[in-house]
Amino acid sequence: MSFFSIETSSVVILAIAVIGAVLTLHKVRQRRVHDVHVDEAGKLRAEMSLVRRELQLRNADCDRIARHYARLQVELKEKEECLLNLDSDILWHREQLATRLTRVRRTYRVLTMGVKYTGKTSLTLKWANPLVDLGTLKGTKTDRYERTVSITPSDERLVEHVFEIHDWGGEHIVDAQQEMILEEIHGVLLVVDLTGKDGKAADPIRIQAQLRAFQPEALRFFFGPKMLSTCKTVVLFINKSDVLSGTSAEVEKTAMDHYRPLIEALEHYRPQIDLRVFVGSASYGHSTHHLFAHFVERILPRSGYDPQLLQRMKADPDPPRAGTVRPVGMRLTGPGTHGGYVLQTPPGASTLNGRPRMVVSDA
Ligand SMILES: Nc1nc2c(ncn2[C@@H]2O[C@H](COP(=O)(O)OP(=O)(O)O)[C@@H](O)[C@H]2O)c(=O)[nH]1
Ligand SMILES: [Mg+2]
């Protein structure tokens, strides 16, 4: 009995021990599983916070894109409105074009001539376009310059009055003569000078050469019947007055004395042609600005004046004015208020274009 009970007790103790061992093992395994789960939970939490951050960034991007989209929508709307406006502008301009007056040009030709280096190009550019840079001049045969003088309405048309200035290179005087014979010339600007290209004082040899170039026999070729019938004025411009010293009256008298034979030869054509003599300097702008007023006054018909031109002519009236004409024969009486001398016709002489002719007198 006692043996049996000892055996039984041993079995029980063993069983208990086994059970205890199994339970311990189970617990250990459970803890390991728990630890693994805790680890995974941690990782999942970290991943979740990453995903949350990414989500926030994406949301911010979405907001930005939404705002940009809204801006683009506004821009698109504005551009559509702009296009609509442009469409209506185009329509308006088309209508205006359809009703616009047609433009025609009336050209008045002014011929500039003189021997080489007298300052023709400098002068032409100065009165035709006073802003021109004289430093860029090059040798020329003939250059053409255009200057719109005015625009006036006439019979449902707009007439653009244009001065076309032909500037002949000095060595092409024969070509200039040809042009005067064949073409309609409305004005002539004859340029002589007191000195050569870079001269600093009056040069009598050069002056004599120019007097020979335009001696009465040569002038006959210029003043042919065609030229006399179309030309409204001839201007003799004695250039480079800056090389003379003295008061402006003395300078003008000296310059005109040098060219007296030419002035007298030109005087010969006075019954048929309006003549004007200026003494000035293309380099310094003396008397140059009066050329425009003079050519306008003599060449452009009164119907060709527009308000701007009238304004300009008022600001720079071209001498002589009524009351300044002195019928004193061929006499030099000092400088005009604008630095020019006017050749006037003696009383009883014929008139040209309804204007009195004049002898030399101050303006
Ligand atoms: N001293 C002086 N020189 C001038 C004047 N006008 C032009 N020149 C000079 O004369 C030279 C010839 O001028 P340019 O206009 O080319 O003469 P063109 O050959 O008659 O066309 C240039 O060296 C100009 O600088 C002026 O009024 N005074
Ligand atoms: Mg030239």
Rg (CA), the chain: 50
Choose which residue among 111, 122, 133 to substitute to test ligand 1 binding: the one with the highest number of ligand atoms within 8 A of its C-beta. 122
User: Among 277, 295, 273, which Cα is nearest to 333's?
Assistant: 277
137 lines ligand 1 (CB under 6 A): yes
d(CA 123, CA 119) in angstroms, rounded, equals: 6
Q: What pLDDT, on the 0 to 100 scale, is given for residue 97?
A: 81
Atom number of ligand 1 nearest to Cα 286: 27
d(CA 345, CA 357) in angstroms, rounded, equals: 4
For residue 120, report the distance from its CA to the centre of ligand 1, in Å. Answer: 7
User: Among 145, 147, 157, which Cα is nearest to 104's?
Assistant: 157
Q: Can you tell me which residue has the tokens 């030099």?
A: 332
Residue-by-residue DSSP string for 289-322: HHHHHHHHHHHS-GGG--HHHHHHHHHSPPSPPT
281 lines ligand 1 (CB under 6 A): yes
168 lines ligand 1 (CB under 6 A): no
For residue 341, report the distance from its CA to the centre of ligand 2, in Å. Answer: 25
Indicate the pairing of strand 187-193 with strand 102-113. parallel
3-state secondary structure of 343: coil
124 lines ligand 1 (CB under 6 A): no
120 lines ligand 1 (CB under 6 A): yes
Contacts of 285 (CB under 8 A, 6+ apart): 126
Q: What pLDDT, on the 0 to 100 scale, is given for residue 362?
A: 29
295 lines ligand 1 (CB under 6 A): no
121 lines ligand 1 (CB under 6 A): yes
Q: What pLDDT, on the 0 to 100 scale, is given for residue 139?
A: 52
119 lines ligand 1 (CB under 6 A): yes
260 lines ligand 1 (CB under 6 A): no
d(CA 307, CA 305) in angstroms, rounded, equals: 7
Bridge partners, residue 131, by sequence: none
Atom number of ligand 1 nearest to Cα 114: 20
For residue 215, report the distance from its CA to the centre of ligand 2, in Å. Answer: 22
Which helix (DSSP H) or strand (DSSP E) does residue 147 occupy? strand 142-154
d(CA 95, CA 153) in angstroms, rounded, equals: 20
| pTM for the model | 0.65
For residue 178, report the distance from its CA to the centre of ligand 1, in Å. Answer: 25
Choose which residue among 283, 284, 286, 288 to substitute to test ligand 1 binding: the one with the highest number of ligand atoms within 8 A of its C-beta. 283
Q: Please check whether residue 282 is in contact with residue 339, taking contact to mean a CB–CB distance below 8 angstroms.
A: no
Q: Buried b vs exposed e over 276-291: b needs ≥16 C-beta within 10 Å?
A: bbbbbbbbeebbbbbb
For residue 322, report the distance from its CA to the centre of ligand 2, in Å. Answer: 36
34 lines ligand 1 (CB under 6 A): no
Q: Can you tell me which residue has the tokens 């065609």?
A: 226
d(CA 27, CA 31) in angstroms, rounded, equals: 6
Which helix (DSSP H) or strand (DSSP E) does residue 160 occupy? strand 157-168
116 lines ligand 1 (CB under 6 A): yes
User: Among 351, 354, 358, 363, which Cα is nearest to 327's?
Assistant: 358
- 363 residues of the chain, pLDDT tens digit each: 566 688 888 889 999 999 999 999 999 999 999 999 999 999 999 999 999 999 999 999 999 999 999 999 999 999 999 999 999 999 988 888 877 778 899 999 999 999 999 999 899 888 876 454 444 445 556 778 888 899 999 888 999 999 988 887 766 677 767 777 777 899 999 999 999 999 999 999 999 999 999 999 989 888 888 889 999 999 999 999 999 999 999 999 999 999 999 999 999 998 899 999 999 999 999 999 889 999 999 999 999 999 999 998 887 665 543 322 222 222 233 333 333 333 333 333 333 333 322 223 222
Indicate the pairing of strand 233-239 with strand 340-342. unpaired
